[in-house]
């Protein structure tokens, strides 16, 4: 239990005494807003109400994203780069993903929580894929798992759905195929590729996925797919006609240390905010401006008087 909570559970304690480092508190569902489910996504598509989705990888970000009213929170394997500093998404493991999904679960209450299945966790065989997907539900508290690939993953996706696990599809620029694609390139730019993407989308639709992420494809192709399938489409670099849009949390906040892709819109500069705060703290410590007397703990009056007496006596003895 958190120290502040522990103290209040035992009848409280003076605020002065509370040494809590991060008094964040437990997050509860906001009853004034609906809980988003996979059925809500379908309703939003039918009602032409755009679906909003952002990635989150830790408790604080998840909580902020959820409290801001975002419909879906994706614990994307993009955390490989954004949180863990890996070169690409291929290295991140099931255990690393689960660690982040659990933290995000504690912060998300109203949004639909989607967990990305990392590279290698579903490619080997269907049994292992179901086992790993079930870990995200059972241990991580995810409500949907996301799998990259279209037509060729349809049977596998059916197996996972048979195990009562909702699945999100992901087609177009699928980062786990970076070596096959020969880089992060926009997909679906010629007629054969468009035909394949249409087949992929229809196969996922028929397999019964909860939604289809469309990444890095021309606007025209995303428009056709969105019109063709009953499943809600969530675009990233796929133009405005998708049923919803997803962006990476770190991208919209300038926390990526590099040039942004064309589709990224920066909504804030957390890098500048953090750098300024860190530099200001450093300067305050170096110049003895932090901490002030108000930011320090003090002895109770009687103890202070007693201590002064003891110190006076010691000084007198030394003379
Ligand atoms: O990992 C991720 O963040 C994703 C989104 C970009 C769709 O898969």
The model's pLDDT over 209-226, given as tens digits with 9 standing for 90+, comes to 999 999 999 999 999 999
pLDDT at 40 over 60: yes
- pLDDT band of 5, cuts 50, 70, 90: very low
Nearest CA owner, ligand 1 atom 8:
76
Task: For residue 31, report the distance from its CA to the centre of ligand 1, in Å.
Answer: 29
Active site residue 295: no
**Among the atoms of ligand 1, which is closest to the Cα of residue 246?**
7
Task: For residue 187, report the distance from its CA to the centre of ligand 1, in Å.
Answer: 16
> Which residue, among 23, 30, 26, 28, has the nearest Cα to 4 in the 3D structure?
23
pLDDT at 82 over 80: yes
Task: For residue 260, report the distance from its CA to the centre of ligand 1, in Å.
Answer: 15
- pLDDT band of 195, cuts 50, 70, 90: very high
- pLDDT band of 24, cuts 50, 70, 90: low
Mean pLDDT of 161-190: 98
Could you tell me which residues come within 8 angstroms of residue 69 by beta carbon, excluding any fewer than 6 positions away? 33, 52, 110
pTM exceeds 0.85, yes or no: yes
Q: Which of 146, 149, 187, 256 to mutate to test the pocket of ligand 1 (most atoms within 8 A of CB)?
A: 146
Asked if residue 265 lies in contact with residue 247, where contact means CB atoms within 8 angstroms, the answer is yes
Task: For residue 36, report the distance from its CA to the centre of ligand 1, in Å.
Answer: 19
Mean pLDDT of 131-136: 98
Nearest CA owner, ligand 1 atom 1:
76
Compute the distance between CA of residue 192 and CA of residue 218 in angstroms, rounded to an integer: 14
Burial degree of 236 (CB within 10 A; 0-12, 13-18, 19+) = buried
**Among the atoms of ligand 1, which is closest to the Cα of residue 77?**
1
Pocket residues: Cβ below 6 A from ligand 1:
55, 74, 76-78, 116, 170, 213, 215, 236, 246, 248
Q: Which residue has the higher pLDDT, 295 or 21?
A: 295
Given 215, 228, 294, 295, the catalytic residue: 215
Mean pLDDT of 238-245: 98
Q: Which residue has the higher pLDDT, 61 or 7?
A: 61
Nearest CA owner, ligand 1 atom 5:
76
Task: For residue 78, report the distance from its CA to the centre of ligand 1, in Å.
Answer: 6
Task: For residue 24, report the distance from its CA to the centre of ligand 1, in Å.
Answer: 27
- pLDDT band of 20, cuts 50, 70, 90: low
Nearest CA owner, ligand 1 atom 3:
76
Instruction: Spell out a b/e string for 187-197, using b for 16 or more CB atoms within 10 Å of the CB, else e.
Output: bbeeeebbebb
Taking residue 115's Cβ as centre, other Cβ atoms within 10 Å add up to 29
Asked if residue 112 lies in contact with residue 70, where contact means CB atoms within 8 angstroms, the answer is no
- pLDDT band of 241, cuts 50, 70, 90: very high
**Among the atoms of ligand 1, which is closest to the Cα of residue 148?**
8
Compute the distance between CA of residue 145 and CA of residue 136 in angstroms, rounded to an integer: 7
Q: Where are the beta strands (DSSP E) in the chain?
A: 51-55, 72-75, 112-116, 144-148, 167-172, 211-215, 233-236, 244-247
- pLDDT band of 90, cuts 50, 70, 90: very high
Compute the distance between CA of residue 140 and CA of residue 165 in angstroms, rounded to an integer: 13
Mean pLDDT of 267-290: 98
Taking residue 70's Cβ as centre, other Cβ atoms within 10 Å add up to 23
Tokens of 144: 């949907």
List C-alpha distances in Å: 52 to 10, 56, 176. 42, 13, 23
pLDDT at 264 over 60: yes
Q: Which of 74, 104, 251, 255 to mutate to test the pocket of ligand 1 (most atoms within 8 A of CB)?
A: 74
pLDDT at 10 over 50: no
For a pLDDT cut of 90, what percent of the chain falls above it? Answer: 89
Task: For residue 10, report the distance from its CA to the centre of ligand 1, in Å.
Answer: 44
Mean pLDDT of 253-277: 97
Q: Which of 246, 251, 264 to mutate to test the pocket of ligand 1 (most atoms within 8 A of CB)?
A: 246
pLDDT at 2 over 50: no
- pLDDT band of 134, cuts 50, 70, 90: very high
């Amino acid at each position: 239990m958190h120290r502040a909570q522990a103290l209040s559970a035992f009848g409280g304690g003076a605020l002065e005494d509370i040494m809590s480092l991060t008094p964040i508190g437990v997050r509860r569902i906001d009853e004034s807003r609906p809980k988003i489910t996979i059925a809500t996504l379908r309703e939003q598509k039918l009602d032409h109400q755009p679906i909003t989705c952002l990635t989150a990888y830790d408790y604080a970000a998840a909580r902020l994203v959820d409290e801001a009213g975002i419909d879906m929170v994706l614990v994307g394997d993009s955390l490989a780069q954004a949180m863990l500093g890996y070169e690409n998404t291929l290295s991140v493991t099931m255990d690393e993903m689960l660690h982040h999904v659990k933290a995000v679960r504690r912060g998300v209450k109203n949004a639909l929580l989607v967990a990305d299945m990392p590279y290698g966790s579903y490619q080997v065989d269907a049994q292992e894929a179901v086992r790993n997907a079930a870990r995200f539900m059972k241990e991580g508290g995810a409500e949907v798992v996301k799998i990259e690939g279209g037509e060729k993953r349809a049977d596998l996706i059916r197996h996972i759905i048979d195990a009562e696990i909702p699945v999100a599809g992901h087609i177009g620029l699928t980062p786990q195929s970076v070596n096959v694609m020969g880089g992060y390139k926009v997909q679906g730019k010629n007629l054969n590729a468009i035909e394949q993407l249409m087949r992929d989308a229809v196969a996922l639709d028929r397999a019964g996925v909860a939604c289809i992420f469309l990444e890095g494809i021309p606007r025209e192709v995303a428009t056709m797919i969105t019109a063709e399938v009953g499943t809600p489409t969530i675009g990233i670099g796929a133009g405005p006609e998708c049923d919803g849009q997803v962006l990476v949390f770190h991208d919209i906040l300038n926390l990526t240390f590099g040039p942004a892709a064309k589709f990224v819109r920066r909504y804030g500069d957390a890098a500048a905010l953090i750098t300024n705060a860190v530099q200001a703290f450093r300067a305050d410590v170096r110049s003895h401006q932090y901490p002030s007397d108000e930011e320090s703990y003090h002895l109770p009056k009687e103890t202070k008087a007693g201590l002064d007496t003891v110190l006076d006596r010691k000084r007198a003895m030394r003379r």
